[in-house]
Amino acid sequence: MKGPLNFLMLSCKKASELIDLKSIKKLTAKERILLKMHLSLCDGCTAYAKHSKILDNLIHRHEQNQDDSGVPPLVGNNELKQRIIANL
Amino acid sequence: MQNVMDVDESSKTIRCWVELYADSMYSWALYKTSSKETAEDLVQDTFMAALQSYDSYKNISNPKSWLFSILNNKLQGFYRDRYRMPLHTNEGFYDNFFEKSGSWKPSQKPLEWTGDPSHLLDDGEFQNVLNDCLKKLPKIWLTVIQNKIMEGKKGDVICQDLGITDTNYWQILHRAKLQLRKCLESNWFKK
């Protein structure tokens, strides 16, 4: 994106940063406006913004599927137990 | 003589705790570090520390949660030591995705994803792709993304746990998402 209003335009690199930053903190008013302008003109970053949200959901639900209780599967390790006891 | 009795008693108790809790502690440490060796070391260190401070512990009622609190401390120490180094501010990473001008490289520009994302996880094949893509992330990135998205922790808590700065934190998150997004697109959505 080039032109006389170039100074008002975020690069895609910067826009994608702001998209992910938005998920952890509130953007400043200026950042919000610049991002909105960029997104209205850039389909790549618009897709990125969608995907960023989808990723959050996917990973969140993926983890819940792995184990509902949030406790990792139990892995037995008898060798380790014996070694610890021997070292006590 | 009294002392010897005490030492005997404490190591007997700890031995019993090893039998009871070592497996779940090891599983937890393995889950957190993804390294068999590290997990074993941390669990072993935890029991050593437990033995040393056994006397001061005697009156507390829940050995399992006490042992886990020591283990979690050790895990934090592990993250701190391992990841204290500043995130490379190398622009090389971003060069994979963006032109010098800051525009997406043509081959990297996000595409429209077709299909309903809410049903993706019902597909076992997609789950495999997601798992593979998650595994390809650098360990610290995976930890950050797990803490953030999976456990819903606040950024400042994660930074404290991992010994990273605020700026590093969201840059890691951003990089992880750039890479994960691309990996899913190439290995799933584009096919």
Answer whether A80 sits within 8 Å of B22, measured CB to CB.
yes
The CA distance from B97 to B92, in Å, is 9
pLDDT of B53: 85
pLDDT at residue A6 greater than cutoff 90: no
Say which residue, B145 or B102, is predicted with more confidence. B102
The CA distance from B140 to B162, in Å, is 9
pLDDT of A25: 80
SS3 string, chain B, reads CHHHHHHHHHHHHHHHHHHHHHHHHHHHHHHHHCCHHHHHHHHHHHHHHHHHCHHHHCCCCCHHHHHHHHHHHHHHHHHHHHHCCCCCCCCHHHHCCECCCCCECCCCCCCCCCCCHHHHHHCHHHHHHHHHHHHHCCHHHHHHHHHHHHCCCCHHHHHHHHCCCHHHHHHHHHHHHHHHHHHHHHHHHCC
Answer whether A77 sits within 8 Å of B130, measured CB to CB.
no
The CA distance from B107 to B111, in Å, is 10
The CA distance from B176 to A19, in Å, is 13
The ipTM estimated for the assembled molecules is 0.73
Q: What is the pLDDT of residues B83-139, one digit of tens each?
A: 555 555 556 889 999 999 999 999 999 999 987 888 888 888 898 899 889 888 877
**Whether A33 contacts chain B with CB within 8 A:** no
Answer whether A80 sits within 8 Å of B149, measured CB to CB.
no
Residue A71 confidence class, pLDDT cut points 50, 70, 90? low
- Residue A41 tokens read as 């003109």
Surface of B (118-177) touching A: CB under 8 A? 118, 120-121, 127, 130, 134, 145-146, 148-151, 155, 170, 173-174, 177
- Residue A13 tokens read as 């690199």
- How far A41 CA lies from chain B's nearest CA (Å)? 12
Answer whether B22 sits within 8 Å of A21, measured CB to CB.
no
pLDDT of B184: 94
pLDDT at residue A3 greater than cutoff 60: no
Answer whether B27 sits within 8 Å of A73, measured CB to CB.
yes
Whether the predicted model's global pTM rises above the 0.80 cut:
no
pLDDT of A38: 95
Please report the sign of the dihedral spanned by the C-alpha atoms of residue B156, residue B153, residue B149, residue A33: negative
The CA distance from B82 to B68, in Å, is 21
Surface of A (60-79) touching B: CB under 8 A? 60-63, 65, 70-77
Residue B2 confidence class, pLDDT cut points 50, 70, 90? very low
pLDDT of A7: 64
pLDDT at residue B3 greater than cutoff 60: no
- How far B104 CA lies from chain A's nearest CA (Å)? 6
**Residues B159/B165/B169/B171 CA torsion (nearest 10 deg):** 180
Residues of B in contact with A61 (CB under 8 A): 121
The CA distance from A10 to A1, in Å, is 9
Answer whether B173 sits within 8 Å of A74, measured CB to CB.
no
Pick A88's closest partner by Cβ from B14, B173, B180.
B14
